[in-house]
Amino acid sequence: MAKKAKAHEFDRDAWEYLTYAPGYECSACQRTIRSLEPVRRKTVDHPSEAPLTVYRHNQCPATPVVAV
């Protein structure tokens, strides 16, 4: 059984904008985003790597629990 850990918490107001990103994966629920399914986009800065762009469904919780 996978150990559960708390993922980074994101403020919904800090998300850049509403967009469509078919084929990408939701950072909260890990489901593939379908065509014409609205999602929020955010860029997460990493000190040792290039910035990472993440997408999240509007209905997904702000603080997901993910398996590690």
What local confidence, expressed as pLDDT, does residue 48 receive?
86
Grouping H, G, I as helix, E, B as strand and the rest as coil, residue 12 is helix
More confident residue, 3 or 56: 56
What local confidence, expressed as pLDDT, does residue 63 receive?
58
Average pLDDT, the chain: 76
What would the mean pLDDT of 2-12 be, rounded to a whole number?
50
For residue 44, pLDDT over 50 is answered with: yes
Residue 52 contacts by C-beta under 8 Å, 6 or more apart in sequence? 43, 44, 46
Contact 23, 34 (CB under 8 A): no
What local confidence, expressed as pLDDT, does residue 31 receive?
92
What local confidence, expressed as pLDDT, does residue 43 receive?
86
